[in-house]
Amino acid sequence: MFNLYKKPCLIAIALLFNSATLSATENSSYTLQQAIDHALVNNPNLQIMQDRIAQAEAQLGIALANFYPSIKTSLSYTHSTNPSHAFGMIIAQRRLDFSPTTDFNNPGGVDNYRPEVTARYSLFRGGQDYFNSKAAQLGIEAATLNKSATRNQLIQTVSSTFYAYLASIEVDKVADRSIEAVKNELKQSRNRYEAGSTLKSDLLSLEVQLAEAQDTKIQTSNAIELTKTGLKSLLGLTAHEAFEINASKQWIMPQANQSFEELLNQAISQRPEMQTANKQIEIAQQQLNATKGAFLPKADAYVSYGSDSKDLDYSTSRDNVTAGVMVELDIFSGFRDSKRIKKAEHQLAIAKKSAKQTQLMIESAVKSAHLKIIEALARIKVTASSVTASEEALRLVNEQRKAGVVTVTRYIEAEVARDKSHARNIAARFDALRAEAELNSAIGAWK
């Protein structure tokens, strides 16, 4: 029985465990797209935006509730010795007795229990319910647009941080290569110093250069960890969760093919922030309309069904129904309604000015990103030439150094120049990628 049943089960469990382990291992190494996908699912800010959409939907439900009748049940108890009240309760209880012993001036204490169901329906409230429901509907649309804006910004931030992480790794490799090169030269110089063919000052200069290279290594290693921490936070990962970057992709440099005017037109038409600002103007207008409705009359229809009794014994012989329509108009409210209109008018003015401010912000963001990408692409060409020249210069200096033609100072200068040119080229390439991500975000490409 063990061979037929238990062994296959154990194999299946082992396969599932191995599959889960492999999946976890694979998921701990992220490409840029995988990092973005993970952030879109697990980033707390985006989850908050989803909750705000649900909150706006609940607000719409609250506004629409005014279009339904309200129904309440109640149970009241009254005791009175007031003749008019007491006889009113006796009549409602169907107990009026015209016998000679009835004293209408001294009925004594009367108890009355009244279970009741009351329904009320708003016929008209100056359009306030309608305008408030419209504002609530627009609130859902605005919350959805805010989520799109957060998504757009999140993808840009993840992309930029991802590129910064890759840049830190590349600069760290340059630091390792520099340390290795200086160590090799220092080893050879020590041998030459012991042989009496190298000055001690040259040896000390190389030791200083090694210390500087090691200091750079410490900084680049720390930059990697800091950037990694920031990226994990964006992805919703805790400090203890595994995280590595898959840097195998060959990055294609962006192209600056579109003019600023074309990019700006795209941004104005598709940036969620601009659309949200316009929605806020509409919301403020609807809220102003609702506030003005306070000066119009209100009409409610109501109906109640209940039964009056001297005890809790219910009987249909004592039930009664009351129905009617009530119209109200506020004559004076201490200037409350007029002040509410002023407040709503200022809110509308603020919304319009905020829309203008948002447009200016978008224009600035597009211009900045456009200039950055042009600058970065120009720097790539310059730094690429600088890398080629510095590599060749270092090769020549090495040959001259071996021949004893140049001093160690010249070697250090060539080594530093080579490292700096590589660092500038790395920065230019990843700055171009970050600028591309910033430009995509500026025009709302990831909404």
Query: Residue 205 has what pLDDT?
Result: 83
User: Is residue 182 in a domain?
Assistant: yes
User: Is residue 424 in a domain?
Assistant: yes
Q: What is the β-pairing status of strands 298-307 and 110-125?
A: antiparallel
User: Running DSSP on this structure, what letter comes out for residue 243?
Assistant: -
The mean pLDDT of the chain is 87
Q: Is the pTM of this model over 0.95?
A: no
User: Is residue 328 in a domain?
Assistant: no
User: Is residue 372 in a domain?
Assistant: yes
Q: What is the β-pairing status of strands 244-245 and 29-30?
A: parallel
CA dihedral in degrees (432, 438, 439, 444; nearest 10)?
A: 150
176-196 mean pLDDT: 83
Structurally, how many domains does the chain consist of?
1
Cα of 420 vs its chain's centroid, Å: 38
CATH number, domain at 211?
1.20.1600.10
Higher pLDDT, 242 or 389: 389
Sign of CA dihedral 114, 117, 122, 123: negative
User: Is residue 22 in a domain?
Assistant: no
Query: Residue 1 has what pLDDT?
Result: 35
Cβ-based neighbour number of residue 1 at 10 Å:
5
CA 205 to each of CA 178, 181, 218, 413: distance values in angstroms, whole numbers, following the listed order: 15, 14, 20, 11
State the residue range of the domain holding 235. Answer: 27-69+127-296+334-442
User: Is residue 192 in a domain?
Assistant: yes
pLDDT tens for each residue of 18-46: 443 334 334 578 999 999 999 999 999 99
Query: Residue 4 has what pLDDT?
Result: 37
335-339 mean pLDDT: 91
User: Is residue 188 in a domain?
Assistant: yes
Query: Residue 103 has what pLDDT?
Result: 76
Query: Residue 9 has what pLDDT?
Result: 40
CB 318 within 8 A of CB 307: yes
Please tell me the distance from the alpha carbon of residue 372 to that of residue 160, in angstroms, as a whole number.
13
Q: Decide if pLDDT at 7 tops 50.
A: no
Query: Residue 27 has what pLDDT?
Result: 52
pLDDT tens for each residue of 60-85: 999 999 999 999 999 999 999 998 88
Q: Which two tokens stand for residue 249?
A: 């992709």
Query: Residue 3 has what pLDDT?
Result: 42
User: Is residue 114 in a domain?
Assistant: no
